[in-house]
Structure 1
Amino acid sequence: MDAEAEVPHSSEPGTEVSPNCDLVRVPSRQGLEAVDLLRLSPGGVGPVLHDRTGDSLSFLVPPGTADVWDVPGSSCACRTAEGEASSGAGWLVPPHTDTAVTDPAVLRAALGEAARMLRLVDGFHREPPAEAASGSGSEPPATPGEPSPAPSPATSASAPGAAPPSPGASGSGPRPDPGT
């Protein structure tokens, strides 16, 4: 297959998009997760640029998005007619898709979901807190959403200041000796 027959994967002639759009730039890890989510969503994903270093992805969004974009961890800039915002970049999702630009509301939701997934994944790879690793003997905290275990009858009966169970009480705890 000669080079001219290949689908272009960079900012070559034939892959330009209208300069009338803005670019939302995000870290590549979050952006790749968002692209996967957007491909499965009804709104779809518009063209996406990647930088050559692999640090970030830029989603093409409608013009004016930069004026109101406020998603932490990302930035949004106007794209110029000369393509300055995309110089040195290549296409992850080329512009010849069915979707000219990505809907900013759909992108915002996908970036939020991607960030939650990455926090969850990263949480499984973190070191345990120093207290838990030292084996202080204390009970581990209950998992959120799970009830804390009820104290055992033996533990509650031996608590300081606790009254002994009455003779008619159910349970297997000690009963007072009637002869004393």
Structure 2
Amino acid sequence: MAGAKTAVEWLASVAPDPEACRWEWERSPLGVALLPAGRAWDVLVLPGELGYPTLDVLTRILDRPGPVLADFGDDRMGFFVPPGTASRWVGTGIRTAGRGTWIVVPYPGRSTGAVRWLVEPDGSGTLTDAALLELAMHEAAAGLAGGGEGG
């Protein structure tokens, strides 16, 4: 699968030793690597109840959003955004991973118990624009607020 190979190379490129990272990642029974945020991407971490409707909005307006992770139990979702976003983000209830932080990343194309890709990286460096993500979050939140309450 050529797409997975490029995605692996793109992700591993941020590791302090990309070759060692790739070697360990491919052989690890867990299928995850710890990679530094803030180099090729930052990650905005949304609660799952907001993340899923936000991803629905993004997939309606974009051909392909940037990579998106979900943790075990779908409690949190991580949207990959351009580097530097985390230091400028002011939204409440959203955790950020930027320069100086590390994230658990599953090997593309493999499922793991702890974390999985909802949108795998395409290997080209496609990320979700932070302003577009924010608009999608607002639309998703408005839908949640108007949707299931009072009745």
User: What's the TM-score once normalised by structure 2's chain length?
Assistant: 0.64
Q: Which runs of 5+ in 1 are unaligned?
A: 126-180
Paired residues for 1:1-180 under 5 Å: 14=8, 17=11, 19=14, 20-42=40-62, 44-78=64-98, 84-87=102-105, 88-96=114-122, 100-125=126-151
Aligned residues of 1:49 and 1:89 also touching (Cα < 8 A): yes
RMSD of aligned alpha carbons: 2.8
Q: CA deviation at 1:32?
A: 0.8
**Structure 1 stretches of 4+ moved >6 Å:** none
TM-aligned CA deviation for residue 78 of structure 1: 1.4
TM-score, normalization by structure 1: 0.54
Structure with the larger RCO, 1 or 2 (CA within 8 Å, 6+ apart): 2
Change (3 A) 1:41 1:99: farther
CA separation of 1:31/1:22 partners in 2, compared to 1, >3 Å: closer, same or farther?
same
Structure 2 alignment gaps of length 5 or more: 15-39, 106-113
**Taking structure 1 as reference, are residues 123 and 84 closer, same or farther at Cα in structure 2, changes over 3 Å only?**
same
What residue number does 2:26 align with? Answer: none
Q: Which has the larger radius of gyration?
A: 1
Contact 2:68 2:117 in 1 (8 A): yes
